[in-house]
Amino acid sequence: MPMKLWHQSMTVLTDLPGYANSLRTRINQVVRPDTEVVMHGFAPGSFPANYPGPDIAHDYLYKLHSHQFVVAALEAERQGYDAVVMASLPSPLIREVRSLVDIPVLGYGDTAFRMAGMYGRRFGLLLFNVERTEFWPERVAEFGLGDNFVGVRPSGVTFNEVAAAHGNADALRDVVARVVASGERMASELGADVIVPGEMPLNLLLAQAKVAQMGGATVVDGLATLFRMAEVAVDLHRDSGMLQSRRGFYHSAPGKQRVREVMDFYGLGALGPRLSTSE
| Contact yes or no for 88/40 (Cβ under 8 A) | no
| Contact yes or no for 11/41 (Cβ under 8 A) | yes
Say which range, 20-24, 154-158, 274-278, has the weakest mean pLDDT.
274-278
Residue 132: predicted pLDDT = 84
Please, which residues have CB within 8 angstroms of residue 66's CB and are 6 or more apart in sequence? 92, 93
Residue 278: predicted pLDDT = 63
Q: What are phi and psi of 55, to 5 degrees?
A: -75, -45
pLDDT, tens only, 178-211: 999 999 999 999 999 999 998 898 999 999 999 9
pLDDT, tens only, 89-139: 999 999 999 999 999 999 999 999 999 999 999 999 999 988 888 999 999
| Contact yes or no for 159/15 (Cβ under 8 A) | no
Residue 276 pLDDT greater than 90, yes or no: no
Please tell me the pTM assigned to this model.
Answer: 0.93
| Domain architecture of the chain: domains with CATH | 3-240+265-277 (3.40.50.12500)
Measured CA to CA, the distance from residue 86 to residue 232 in angstroms comes to: 15
Question: Strand pairing partners for 113?
Answer: none
* Higher local confidence (pLDDT), 34 or 163: 34
CA-based torsion, 10, 86, 32, 194: positive or negative: positive
* Higher local confidence (pLDDT), 259 or 129: 259
Measured CA to CA, the distance from residue 27 to residue 211 in angstroms comes to: 17
Neighbours of 24 (CB within 10 A): 16
pLDDT, tens only, 37-76: 999 999 999 998 888 888 888 999 999 999 999 999 999 9
Share of the chain above pLDDT 70, in %: 99
CA 91 to chain centre: 6
Task: Give the mean model confidence (pLDDT) for residues 226-231.
Answer: 98
In 63-109, the DSSP E strands lie at: 83-87, 105-107
Measured CA to CA, the distance from residue 32 to residue 277 in angstroms comes to: 21
